[in-house]
Chain A
Amino acid sequence: MFTRRQALMGVAAAGLLAALPPMTAMAGEIDLSALPRERIALVAPPFVHAHEQVSTTGPRIIEYTMTIVEKTVVIDDEGTTLQGMTFDGSIPGPMMVVHQGDYVELTLVNPETNSLPHNIDFHAATGGLGGGALTLINPGEETTLRFKATRSGTFVYHCAPEGAMIPWHVVSGMSGTIMVLPRDGLKDETGRPLRYDKVFYVGENDFYVPRDEEGNFKSYESPGDSYADTLPVMRGLIPTHVVFNGAKGSLTGDNAMTSKVGETVLIVHSQANRDTRPHLIGGHGDYVWEEGKFDNPPMKDLETWFIRGGSAGAALYTFLQPGIYAYVNHNLIEAVELGATAHFVVEGEWNDDLMKQVAAPGPIPVN
């Protein structure tokens, strides 16, 4: 059992870390006062805040605030609950978009109402455990971190407090993505510009929910209550749920993503903990940055692409045919049984040249 006392010990350790001299003070004096600042409000996935694809300015300081919210979340259509830990209230956390050379200045808030210390590790950042070493905050604290976005690409961020807390916080929902665009935008393998009409952020999560003796999922009052039971399920490495956007079915039905024939969509896919293999049923990846890093030429015409656990990738596709598209993790057991399925509803004109039903299903003719 994870007791209140142990939770408090966690807090004490956090206090120790916080007592270290702030590393920012040791850095060479950088005068960023001349740089313009922009404060951007984050939006919940699968949507992404408005941004320029090609920057019309020089480097800037982009300010974000994220509030960590511990809360009970429903993760499937049977009402199974998870003691969720979230960046800004959503699983995954919101996607940030900046340009290469910009500075990201994040204020991270851990309200008093939470029970655990948290921090943030940006895979896009250099040094200080990705910022994790400088951002561990107790309930009732906040901190501000600035890092320079030196490399372009899609990068995961996640909570990484300490030891066994790290995977537990990540599989409780604490991960998200930052996309660092090249200042002159995305390009194909020959350097010609690529643009998108829409961007969707699909964060994939693996959850490990304990069951009771009868095989039913258990529910808990608080994250601490769930810890002891959850750890052995995590160690089994077989998730009970593999979902997009925090819950089975959260990107289907009324919440399905939408597009039109002729529209180009950028799909950013993250998995902070475990490998996955996105596939658009009936479509393709026209240009895919599997590893998500835009300084590498994109791969073309992919059927399925591989997202390494602990990374985010990006796929660009122009819809050519109307209909309902399933966007899945093409381990189809995980897609259908465990929840990793999203839908696109795409309107437009049907192209008989690409596909036509020549003979409708009917009895086999007898001669």
Chain B
Amino acid sequence: MPWHVAETAAGGVVAVALSIAALAAHGSDRDTGAVAAPPTVVIEATRLAFPEPGEFLVEGRAIPAPVRDVEIPAFAIMTHQVGLADYGRCVAAGRCMAADTQARAAAADVPVTGVSYFDALAYAAWLGEATGATWRLPSALEAAAAAGERFSAETFSDAADDPKNPAVAWIRRYREQAASVRAPEPAARPFGSYGVNSLGVADFGGNVWEWTSTCYVRVGFEADRVTERSRTENCRVHVLEGRHRAIMSDFVRDGRSGGCAVGTPPDNLGFRLVQEPDRPGLVGRILGRIAAVLDR
């Protein structure tokens, strides 16, 4: 069930571990796995002024996310979003649920859409087994780094709203939302339709919003907007990055069911994965033993 995110996430982790174990147990003939690893782009270590995803309150009123200056170590991320055909192999292997995509099954060159956070986890686990590498969702911070100049985060506006009248802020944001309405683009478009950013990452900010591993948080600040008074994390809800930031329940597959602070809801939900550096040999050997035991 969607609510049991912790269990499901744990299940995903176990699956990855077992896949590596299986790989180790079967020796070097499967070093490259049954499936070719998708192309990745290395995002060099960088610093980013990053608005933390979530909801931030001062005395009960929403304020813009505080922007932190963050360092991000280098990482490798898929050049393209996971494709419909790629995802189809996981479905064929019985490890992924068929996507609620609008695209025809025959369309091999489009990103998969109509997938939930759970679907992304399942795919990452299967891809790990199939390629012999470790794949995971990027954090929102990594997604922002990979998005480069296309990162937009939240379009949350702040104003000297009347603290005695919450409706002033409600009406102001409602009007901003109305002004930012754009025509939906529900149809999946071929890879490259939205071009490549300066880092070589394709199609970020197009009509597919990308799941991240970052949970939703609600943070209460003191009046100084710096000192945290309270913090609640909800990991049944995750952040998606794209044309604007979205926050969705993990089981949601249709972006149009809402979830944006401002603007038209996401047209489509998809994802791309980060490839972890190779595991140290020792871990592989230990996992190999476990797998060998499990095999009996």
Contact of B60 among A216, A324, A350, A357 (CB under 8 A): A357
Q: Which of B11-19, B72-80, B174-182 contacts A (4 or more CB under 8 A)?
A: B174-182
In the complex, chain B residues whose CB is within 8 Å of the CB of A27 = none
Q: Per-residue 0/1 for B213-231: is the Cβ within 8 Å of any A Cβ (1 yes, 0 no)?
A: 0000010100000000111
Chain B interface, >50% SS class:
mixed
| Given known A-B contacts A350-B165, A350-B166, A345 and B60 have beta carbons under 8 A apart | no
Interface assignment of B193: CB less than 8 Å from any CB of chain A: no
Chain A residue contacts of B186, Cβ below 8 A = 78
Neighbouring A residues of B274 by C-beta, 8 Å: none
**Quick check: is A59 within 8 A (CB to CB) of the other chain?**
no
Q: A252 to chain B: which residues have CB within 8 Å?
A: 178
Q: Tell me whether B232 is interfacial, beta carbon within 8 Å.
A: yes
Q: Once the chains bind, are B232 and A363 in contact (CB under 8 Å)?
A: yes
B232–A345 CB distance below 8 A: no
Q: Is the CB of B220 within 8 A of A362?
A: yes
Nearest chain A residue, comparing its CB with the CB of B164? A350
B184 located at the interface, meaning its Cβ lies under 8 Å from any Cβ of chain A in the complex: yes
Asked if B170 is at the interface of the complex by the 8 Å CB criterion, the answer is: yes
B171 at the A/B interface (Cβ < 8 Å)?
Answer: yes
Residues on B with C-beta less than 8 A from A323 are 166-167, 170-171
Q: How far is the CB of A122 from chain B (nearest CB, A)?
A: 36
CB-based contact A361/B218 at 8 Å = yes
Min Cβ gap B52→A in Å is 17
Q: Which of B189-246 contact A (CB under 8 A)?
A: 218, 220, 229-232
Residue B69 is within 8 A (CB to CB) of chain A in the complex: no
B230 touches A363 (CB 8 A): yes
Which A-chain residue is minimally distant from B258 (CB atoms)? A336
| Smallest CB separation, A333 vs chain B (Å) | 13
Most buried by A among B102, B171, B231: B171
The distance in angstroms between the C-alpha atoms of A79 and B177, with both chains bound, is 20
Check B57 for interface membership: any CB of A closer than 8 A. yes
Among B102, B166, B167, B181, contact of A357 (Cβ-Cβ < 8 Å): B166
Closest to B102 in A: A216
CB <8 Å contact, B174 and A324: yes
CA distance A254 to B163 in the complex (A): 25
Nearest residue (CB) in A for B171 is A345
Q: Which residues of A contact B171 (CB under 8 A)?
A: 322-324, 345, 347
The verdict on A349 contacting chain B, using a C-beta distance below 8 Å, is: yes
Residue A193 interfacial (CB < 8 Å)? no
Residues from chain A with Cβ under 8 Å of B60 in the complex: 357, 359-361
A253-B170 contact in complex given A78-B186, A360-B220, A361-B57, C-beta closer than 8 Å: no
Within 8 A of A (CB), among B132-169: 162, 164-168
B59 at the interface (CB under 8 A from A): yes
B31 to nearest A CB, angstroms? Answer: 41
User: Whole-angstrom distance from the CB of B90 to the nearest CB of chain A?
Assistant: 22
Contacts of A352 in B (CB 8 A): 164
B167 near A253 with CB under 8 A, answer: no
B218 contact set on A, CB distance < 8 A: 361-362
Question: Which residue of A345, A361, A362 contacts B174 across the interface (Cβ within 8 Å)?
Answer: A345
Complex interface: chain B residues within 8 A of A362 (CB): 57, 218, 220, 229-230, 232
Chain A residues whose C-beta falls within 8 Å of the C-beta of B179 in the assembled complex:
254
Which of B59, B61, B177, B220 is within 8 Å of A253, CB to CB?
Answer: B177
Bound Cα distance A360, B231 (Å): 13
- Cβ of B179 to closest chain A Cβ, rounded Å: 8
Q: Is the CB of B178 within 8 A of A256?
A: yes
Q: Is the CB of A78 within 8 A of B184?
A: yes
Binding site for B on A (CB under 8 A): 77-79, 214, 216, 252-254, 256, 321-324, 343, 345-350, 352, 357, 359-363
Which B residues form the contact surface with A (CB < 8 A)? Answer: 57, 59-61, 102, 104, 162, 164-168, 170-171, 174-175, 177-179, 181, 183-184, 186, 218, 220, 229-232
Question: What 5 additional pairs, Cβ within 8 angstroms, besides A323-B166, A323-B170?
Answer: A253-B181, A322-B168, A324-B170, A349-B165, A360-B57
Closest 3 CB pairs of A and B: A360-B60, A322-B167, A253-B178
Give 16 CB contacts A-B under 8 Å.
A322-B165, A322-B168, A323-B167, A324-B174, A345-B175, A350-B164, A357-B60, A357-B166, A360-B57, A360-B59, A361-B60, A362-B57, A362-B218, A362-B220, A362-B232, A363-B230
